[in-house]
Chains A and B, each alone.
Chain A
Amino acid sequence: MKKVLFAMALALAQTAWADGGMDILKSQCSSCHNLTGPAPQTLKELWARKGPDLFYAGNKYRKEWLVQWLQNPTRIRPAGEFYEDHIKPGEKHDEIDPATLKPHVSLSKDDAQAVADALMTLKPKSDLIAKEKIEEGTISKSMGEMVFDKFLGCMACHRIEPDYGGLSGPELYTAGDRLQPEYIASYIRSPQAWDPKIWMPNKHVSDMNIQKLVHYLEALSQENKNGK
């Protein structure tokens, strides 16, 4: 009986926690992040977006990562959001214009925890996640790179090392740390199913290569963490 009461109290406390997180999200974050959906349906809406959509956060992020990052945010998209607002013509090619990129707000540990709890309750598009089955497996780094760079050309927009790869998409050497594996798989299968106007193309990656890419990105994050 005591145990039941305790469990009930804990559940209530957790809901209150998430409620507090939702209040923070609504008051401090909703000016830049969409918390309710839908994703932009026109280019005008896409260009006006000030930060990544968070309305399906519960199906996208790893909670431990959210808690850490919100306390100590680092840049994920080298060219920010929307990329074209943060580039300028350069000597050899277009360059990022660092003056246009601002640091992200950070939260206290308690607030980060509460916000992460609240974000993890946002779960639209669960049907897309349910379609992905990640098999156990490993892939050598060189094979992974071969698939990512040579066969599929993903390096054109993504960095797989802090100083190698394109700049218009998020860095991916931390993707395994940030993102749920099913989300990685589903996003590669169809970026447009998540975000119809996004500037990542659907490259029609085969099931087999999607599995390989998930294993590769997870290994890459592991290595990146160990290296630090």
Chain B
Amino acid sequence: MGNKLIFLTLLALSLPALAKEAARDNYRTYCVQCHGMAGNGKGVNIRDMSVQPRDHTDAKAMSARSDDTLFKVIKEGGLSIDKSVLMPPWGDTLSDDEIRDMAQYLRTLCKCKFGGN
């Protein structure tokens, strides 16, 4: 009984401040504004952008990126992989766990994996 309580308290303490959200929901909220409702890079923001957002349904381009690179660019932004500053860092918005899920979600959009179509 006592142990259980301590365990529950520890669990509560170790939980992140905000509950984990599904990757699809995070994509709708944070990525669609630039990458588009269809994930094809044609978001509502793009008209005046000097570098256009990646088409996440482009299997060829997306399979050239490892899961680690996807994790890095989502967390730290375009500059971290020598890409445009217009791709923002999401490390203060999404937890590492959510970013890992997001990378997997992108794989479902491109229907591709690293190294092959």
Main secondary structure, interface of B, reads loop
Q: Is A84 an interface residue (CB 8 A)?
A: yes
Q: How far is the CB of A167 from chain B (nearest CB, A)?
A: 5
Task: Flag if B33 contacts A166 (CB, 8 Å).
Answer: yes
Task: Flag if A79 contacts B44 (CB, 8 Å).
Answer: yes
Q: How far is the CB of B75 from chain A (nearest CB, A)?
A: 11
Q: How far is the CB of A151 from chain B (nearest CB, A)?
A: 7
Given A41-B18, A42-B21, A153-B84, also A96-B45 (CB < 8 A): no
Contact with A156, one of B28, B38, B49 (Cβ below 8 angstroms):
B49
Give chain B interface residues in 1-30, CB to chain A under 8 Å: 17-19, 21, 25-26, 28-30
Contact with A95, one of B32, B44, B86 (Cβ below 8 angstroms):
B44
Task: Flag if B47 contacts A203 (CB, 8 Å).
Answer: no
Query: How many positions in chain B have a CB within 8 Å of any CB in the partner chain?
Result: 33
Task: Flag if B45 contacts A156 (CB, 8 Å).
Answer: yes
15 A-B pairs with C-beta separation under 8 A: A41-B18, A43-B29, A79-B44, A89-B37, A93-B42, A93-B46, A94-B36, A153-B84, A153-B85, A153-B86, A155-B48, A167-B45, A197-B18, A197-B29, A199-B29
Instruction: Please provide the 8 A-B residue pairs with the shortest distance between their CB atoms, ordered closest to farther.
Output: A166-B45, A202-B92, A201-B88, A168-B33, A93-B42, A153-B85, A94-B44, A153-B86
> Which B positions have Cβ atoms within 8 angstroms of A?
17-19, 21, 25-26, 28-30, 32-34, 36-38, 42-49, 77, 84-86, 88-93
> Which A positions have Cβ atoms within 8 angstroms of B?
41-43, 46-47, 79, 83-84, 87-89, 92-96, 150-153, 155-157, 164-168, 190, 192, 196-197, 199, 201-204
